[in-house]
Amino acid sequence: MSAALRLKLENIVKEYPGCRANDGIDLTVESGEIHALLGENGAGKSTLMKVIYGVVQPDEGRMLWNGHPVKVDSPARARAMGIGMVFQHFSLFETLTVAENIALGLPTAEARDRRELDQRIREVSERYGMALDPRRYVSTLSVGERQRVEIIRCLIQETTLLILDEPTSVLTPQEVTDLFATLRKLAKEGCSILFISHKLEEVRSLCHNATVLRQGRVSGDCRPKDVSAADIARLMVGDDTPISTRVPAAEPGDVLLEVRDLSWKSSDPFGTSLKDVSVTLNQGEIVGIAGVAGNGQDELLKALSGEIRMDRGDMDLGGLGIGALSPDQRRKLGVAIVPEERLGRGAVPGMSLAENALLTASGQGLVDRGMIRFGRVRDFSRAVIRRFDVRCNGEDSTARSLSGGNLQKYIIGREALQNPRLLVASHPTWGVDVGSAVAIHEALVKLRDEGASILLISEDLDELYQLCSRIGALCDGRLSPLAPTSELTIEQLGQWMAGEFDSAEATHAAA
Amino acid sequence: MELLINVLAATVVAGTPLLLAALGELICERSGVLNLGQEGMMLMGAVAGFVATLTSGSLVVGVAAAILAGIAMSLLFAFMAVTLAANQYAAGLALTIFGIGLSAFVGAGFVGESIDGFSRVAIPLLSDIPLIGRVLFDQDPLVYMSLVAFVAVWVFLRHTRGGLLLRAVGEDPEAANANGLKVLVVRYLAVAFGGGMAGLAGAYLSLAYTPMWTENMTAGRGWIALALVVFATWRPERVVLGAYLFGAASILHLVLQGLGWNISTELLAMLPYVVTILMLVLLSFNPARTRLNTPLSLGQPYRPGR
């Protein structure tokens, strides 16, 4: 209709063995429009992006670019047309400088004069309010800054359609505000933006239009500002799935875990060291640790599980010092761990679910004088599958064959059935579909109500606010004060995530 | 003074084969490919250079043959390790074993033959500089080639787009591919360069250092070159340092023996290896700098498109 139509997809079909990832998708993006692409994991969002960016070829359908039919057979072709993409996992080289990274994506002629390139990078970064020094090494940049490198890399190539894949999942709330200001400015200048997300409030505040995908089809189009987040969520998950849990207030009991001045120095120069982390956990409460990835979350989890031995500090579980104990000894005392990576750390991909149960639950009478009691292992595994509604082909299916959400339910269930006193869970619902996320949240709350203490490490602030009675944030290995959730504004938490807190105050508040 | 100059000049000569091989392997490893076939490629270069010189009467033909032999060997390795994405360690070890055997077979009829090797050519003006002139610029042409190669590698890595591509591929081939770089082409070129340099290093042994062919005449220098690259933390300037340090220590052991020191020759023979490795271990102590220069994907086969 209008001359300003930038991208139009008609009836895109892409079929993988056993799955129709895109099943007749139509999509239009106008120039200067910020268009949201919404949907759960597995709804077909990433396949559709790959089609647009030329990474995969559609089986059917056609694509119109500025009104003309085109065939995008490679990312290089897409870039030449003016399509830029920022992947969720950045394709940056840590040992190169910002300018060198950007030069790699440019035609040889444009990248030759390094000084001129530095100048161009500075211009673009100032113009869009994304401060960035072209001479710095990427390894020294924060995640937010790395994302700027990716975006500037697109902008410097005169991109007219910018695709962003879940760009806010790695940012602090303040960084999100800055990013949105940049995107709005870009859109005003006529650049179209395809914004992929599952955070509904963000979509409502930023995007002009939204297309919602479910199971490979368009389940609806809407103007996000005119409809409620609940309406959009309904379009995403369908009618029969509960969207969220109601969490009754916690009734904390006595102190269970007390960590004082935990310090640990990373031997990896690009790793994060823990600095004087203090935290107390009561029985029957969930405490949340927010923070941008890579600020010490993984190290904290490992220090609590016993995978790394802290250099300094105290760690008491129910009055007993556990700082010097091995992971196995801690497990026997009732410490359960749900690590971030499901495959590889939470479960062995190539082993069956039953064998994976044995890995952490061997203390539940599954082993007798060194011999495995397979009958009991199977019973235990079946109980987890039944109680936590894990969709799989029985306890003999391999961990790898399960979807992310189902495997996570299995892992949480495996720990929950051992009646832990302390559960440390890292990003338990990351990359999990809404239905499974609700089930996982319910399992955590149930465990809490049975008197367990839970430390929940997560980047999903909605999740933290929903489940936790107290929240703090990790930044560069230091822990902010822990504030009661009801008194903690999201702005305050954002500042903590950016490191704006006084450590001494944090220590006192926790002591 | 005269003794010092002689010792230093001999140091450069002894360090040159290592320098050549290590510079080649450095480029190869920077692309993420570990080629343990150095010893085999050097031996093939040595025997090819010697035989070609003997039959043609031309040292230039000999050097060319040595380089080509090294490249041919490395392409064999590249086909296994890059195209077929085989285990790089296994493929490299196989190449060394193959090279030792093949070079002995090819050279069997030439043991005991002799040729006129490279002689020293003083460079006008430069060789008149006190000390340095005699040490660096009154040498044979292959030494000059090694110096040129060092400067070229240094500039290439630091100041050219090609060097940037190489470092990018070596750090993260997946991301390089996502950026539209041709990972396999870059790796092939890097491996071939490494092969050519190893061949040249072999030629240095059989055409300049000791102009003759004996079986297994590299005597482990390929392995030392490999160790040099790692301990030099993949930086060319440190490779030079390490190569000459090794050269110095091996000359020192001859000098000490000549002076009649009463130390067992076996212990003295260990000296070059021990000194070089200790020195470079101490130098590579700064983990942050080391990490910046380490090719992270080293040793990992890359298969494009999952």
* Shortest distance, CA A105 to any CA of chain B (angstroms): 6
CA distances from B161 to A101, A148, B22, B178, B197 (A): 11, 23, 22, 17, 21
Please name which of A354, A344, A304, A348 lies closest in space to residue A327, comparing C-alpha atoms. Answer: A304
- How many Cβ pairs closer than 8 A exist between chain A and B? 56
Task: Specify the pLDDT at position A1.
Answer: 41
Question: Position A85: which residue type?
Answer: M
Task: Specify the pLDDT at position B305.
Answer: 54
Distance in angstroms (rounded) separating the CA atoms of residues A195 and A217: 18
| Exposed / middle / buried, residue A28 (Cβ in 10 Å: 0-12, 13-18, 19+) | middle
Q: What confidence tier does A468 reach under pLDDT thresholds 50, 70, 90?
A: very high
Q: Which residues contact B105 (CB under 8 A, 6 or more apart)?
A: none
Angle subtended at Cα A379 by Cα A377 and Cα A381, rounded to the nearest 5 degrees: 70
Can you tell me the mean pLDDT for A41-46?
A: 79
Task: Please name the member of A76, A108, A270 whose beta carbon is closest to the beta carbon of B180.
Answer: A76
CB A475 within 8 A of CB A497: yes
Probe site for chain B from A91, A102, A112, A154 (most B CB atoms < 10 A): A91
CA trace torsion A117, A119, A123, A125 (10° rounding)? 70
Residue-range domains of chain A with CATH = 5-237 (3.40.50.300), 255-346+420-510 (3.40.50.300)
A4's tokens: 């300003």
Chain A residues with CB under 8 Å of B175 CB are 90-93
| Exposed / middle / buried, residue A230 (Cβ in 10 Å: 0-12, 13-18, 19+) | exposed
Q: Which residues contact A141 (CB under 8 A, 6 or more apart)?
A: A98, A149
Distance in angstroms (rounded) separating the CA atoms of residues B219 and B227: 14
Q: Which residues contact A111 (CB under 8 A, 6 or more apart)?
A: A103, A104, A117, B161
B249's tokens: 């220590």
Backbone φ and ψ of A335, nearest 5°: -95, 125
- Mean pLDDT score of chain B: 90
Angle subtended at Cα B155 by Cα B153 and Cα B159, rounded to the nearest 5 degrees: 130
Distance in angstroms (rounded) separating the CA atoms of residues A222 and A204: 10
Decide: helix, strand or coil at residue A371: strand
Q: What is the DSSP letter of A85?
A: E
- Record: contact A112-B161, CB cut-off 8 A: yes
Chain B residues with CB under 8 Å of A87 CB are 178
Q: What confidence tier does A511 reach under pLDDT thresholds 50, 70, 90?
A: very low
* Shortest distance, CA A393 to any CA of chain B (angstroms): 27
Chain A residues with CB under 8 Å of B165 CB are 104
The DSSP result for A185-225, as a single string, is HHHHTT-EEEEEES-HHHHHHH-SEEEEEETTEEEEEE-GG
Each residue's pLDDT tens digit, B120-135 = 888 888 888 888 888 8
Closest alpha carbon within chain A to B176: A91
CB B278 within 8 A of CB B230: no
CA trace torsion A406, A412, A414, A416 (10° rounding)? -140
Task: Specify the pLDDT at position A25.
Answer: 93
Residue B111 confidence (pLDDT) above 50: yes
Higher-pLDDT residue of B202 and A391 is B202
Sign, Cα dihedral of A23, A24, A29, A34: negative
Q: What pTM did the predictor assign?
A: 0.76
Chain A residues with CB under 8 Å of B181 CB are 104
* Shortest distance, CA A374 to any CA of chain B (angstroms): 36
Task: Specify the pLDDT at position B292.
Answer: 78
Distance in angstroms (rounded) separating the CA atoms of residues A80 and A106: 10
Residue A509 confidence (pLDDT) above 60: no
Burial annotation B101-110 (CB, 10 A radius, 16+ → b, else e): ebbbebbeeb
Task: Specify the pLDDT at position B71.
Answer: 98
Closest alpha carbon within chain A to B157: A96
Strand bridging mode B138-139 / B121-122? antiparallel
A188's tokens: 């005003």
Task: Note the Cα A508 to chain centre separation in Å.
Answer: 31
Q: What is the DSSP letter of A50?
A: H
Distance in angstroms (rounded) separating the CA atoms of residues B65 and A289: 65
Task: Specify the pLDDT at position A277.
Answer: 94
Burial annotation A300-326 (CB, 10 A radius, 16+ → b, else e): bbbbbbbbbebeebebbbbeeebbebe
Can you tell me the mean pLDDT for B277-302?
A: 80
Q: What is the DSSP letter of A398?
A: B
- Mean pLDDT score of chain A: 87
Q: What confidence tier does B239 reach under pLDDT thresholds 50, 70, 90?
A: very high
Angle subtended at Cα B25 by Cα B24 and Cα B27, rounded to the nearest 5 degrees: 70
CB A207 within 8 A of CB A196: no
B183's tokens: 């990972």
Task: Specify the pLDDT at position A3.
Answer: 47
Bridge partners of residue A217, in order along the sequence: A214
Probe site for chain A from B30, B166, B234, B292 (most A CB atoms < 10 A): B292
Task: Note the Cα B210 to chain centre separation in Å.
Answer: 17
Task: Please name the member of B161, B171, B181 whose beta carbon is closest to the beta carbon of A111.
Answer: B161
Decide: helix, strand or coil at residue B4: helix
Chain B residues with CB under 8 Å of A94 CB are 171, 296
* Shortest distance, CA B27 to any CA of chain A (angstroms): 16
Can you tell me the mean pLDDT for A226-251?
A: 77
Can you tell me the mean pLDDT for A382-390?
A: 90
Distance in angstroms (rounded) separating the CA atoms of residues B11 and B272: 11
CB B130 within 8 A of CB B5: no
A208's tokens: 């002009």
Angle subtended at Cα A108 by Cα A106 and Cα A112, rounded to the nearest 5 degrees: 100
HEC letters along A20-41: EEEEEEEEEEECCCEEEEECCC
Chain B residues with CB under 8 Å of A103 CB are 161, 164
Task: Please name the member of A94, A95, A105 whose beta carbon is closest to the beta carbon of B179.
Answer: A105
- Record: contact A92-B175, CB cut-off 8 A: yes
Task: For chain B, count helices (H), then strands (E).
Answer: 13, 2
Can you tell me the mean pLDDT for A212-229?
A: 88
Residue A98 confidence (pLDDT) above 90: yes
Residue pointed to by tokens 């004082």: A260
Each residue's pLDDT tens digit, A299-349 = 999 999 999 999 999 999 998 999 999 999 999 999 999 998 888 888 998
Residue A286 confidence (pLDDT) above 70: yes
CATH class of B17-122+140-293: mainly alpha
Each residue's pLDDT tens digit, B187-227 = 999 999 999 999 999 999 999 999 999 999 998 899 999 98
- Record: contact B165-A104, CB cut-off 8 A: yes
Can you tell me the mean pLDDT for A118-126?
A: 90
Task: Specify the pLDDT at position A122.
Answer: 92
Residue pointed to by tokens 């405490």: A287
Q: What crossing angle do the helices spanning B88-107 and B38-56 adopt, rounded to 10°? A: 30
Each residue's pLDDT tens digit, B240-265 = 999 999 899 888 888 887 777 777 87
Burial annotation A355-366 (CB, 10 A radius, 16+ → b, else e): bbbbebbeebeb
CB A293 within 8 A of CB A170: yes
Chain B residues with CB under 8 Å of A79 CB are 180
Cβ neighbour number for residue A69 with a 10 Å cutoff: 10
CA distances from A424 to A190, A338, B223 (A): 47, 6, 48
Question: Position A254: which residue type?
Answer: D
Task: Specify the pLDDT at position B80.
Answer: 95
- Whether the ipTM is more than 0.85: the answer is no
Residue boundaries of the structural domains of chain B: 17-122+140-293
Closest alpha carbon within chain A to B292: A95
Question: Which has the minimum average pLDDT: A388-402, A482-496, B22-36?
Answer: A388-402
Angle subtended at Cα A176 by Cα A170 and Cα A181, rounded to the nearest 5 degrees: 145
Each residue's pLDDT tens digit, A149-202 = 999 998 888 899 999 988 887 788 888 898 999 999 999 999 999 998 877 888
Chain A residues with CB under 8 Å of B161 CB are 103, 108, 111-112
Residue B103 confidence (pLDDT) above 50: yes
Cβ neighbour number for residue B167 with a 10 Å cutoff: 24
Structural Rg of chain A based on CA atoms: 24
